[in-house]
Amino acid sequence: MTCEGCGELAALGRRYRLDRILHRAPGVTTYHARDLSTRQTVVAVEYALPEGQDGVVCRFEAALERLQELVHPGVVRTVDHCVAEHGRERRLGRVHAWVEGWSLQQEADEHRHTELEVVGVLEELLAILADLHSQKPPLVHGDLHAGTVLRTVDDRRLVLIHPGALRELILVPGQRWSAPFGHLAPEVLLERHPSTPAADLFSVGALAVRLLSGIEPRAMRSGGQGLDWEPHLQVHPELARVLRSLLQIDPSRRPTSAATVRAAIRTLGDQLGRR
């Protein structure tokens, strides 16, 4: 890729050469990139900085510094961050390690997941979230969906990308999320409350429904509030009970922790495995 302004190779922070676009979303562009210093393949993520929101930079850098200190097998390692200049525009950049694998979104586009497969995904995912939420202060993912969960090629384990509620930092005060963010909890999507562990658990439920039904959560929004998912699924009664608890509109009625839900999911997995 080349810079539209000067024609030179596009690079983030003058170190990470941008090879191609992997994904675009409102306010965020993800690139396949190469570290010009180490020659390693990495992923570079650019967050558009709204005009007049210079104060976001300090909060963004603080969040990224915390992520760079995080070493967890279930989270893709953040290796660098920077503020990128594009003429008069400023963009916030995050660089994370390249993972050989595919997203659950790609999996879901190729086949409908069975209940047992989804239970396996939930158990592994909830174990990661339990660790993140137990940190002080809790580390909330804030943007959990099928596209931000990867499965590795070598051992097929799950890893999370884009953790830390970074997208929330770049919204103009008072701005609401747009319709495509069907995986977000109602209090985040509509009321602009900061993401919490309870909001992450709602997103876990939305992800499970996506894998089981093959339908994007945004298509199940009921009056902009919860997800009207039950007409689209017939699942094991215990799995339905877990999904109802995760997808409660009122966050105070959701489970209190990822560890609690994981315990119920493990029991359900044993039951489904015996069927």
Per-residue pLDDT tens over the stretch 91-119: 788 899 999 999 999 999 999 999 999 99
The domain segmentation of the chain, as residue ranges, is: 11-97, 101-274
Q: Considering only residues 136 and 126, tell me which one the structure prediction assigns the higher pLDDT.
A: 126
Reported as half-sphere exposure (CB side, CA atoms, 13 A), residue 194 has a value of 9
Equal fold, 11-97 vs 101-274: no
Mean pLDDT of 232-247: 95
Compute the C-alpha angle 164/111/22, nearest 5°.
45
E-strand ranges in the chain read: 11-12, 16-25, 28-35, 41-48, 78-86, 89-97, 101-103, 149-152, 158-160
CATH class of domain segment(s) 101-274: mainly alpha
How much is the pTM?
A: 0.87
Compute the C-alpha angle 9/169/17, nearest 5°.
15
Name the token pair of 106. 């790609």
pLDDT of residue 173: 47
Compute the C-alpha angle 212/217/220, nearest 5°.
100
CATH entry 3.30.200.20 includes domain 11-97: yes
Mean pLDDT of 30-41: 94
Distance of CA 203 to the CA centre of its chain: 9
Is the C-alpha dihedral spanning 124, 164, 173, 89 positive or negative? negative
Is the C-alpha dihedral spanning 95, 100, 102, 103 positive or negative? negative
For tokens 């760079």, the residue is: 68
Name the token pair of 62. 């603080």
pLDDT more than 70, % of the chain: 84
Between CA 275 and CA 270 the distance in angstroms is: 9
pLDDT of residue 221: 84
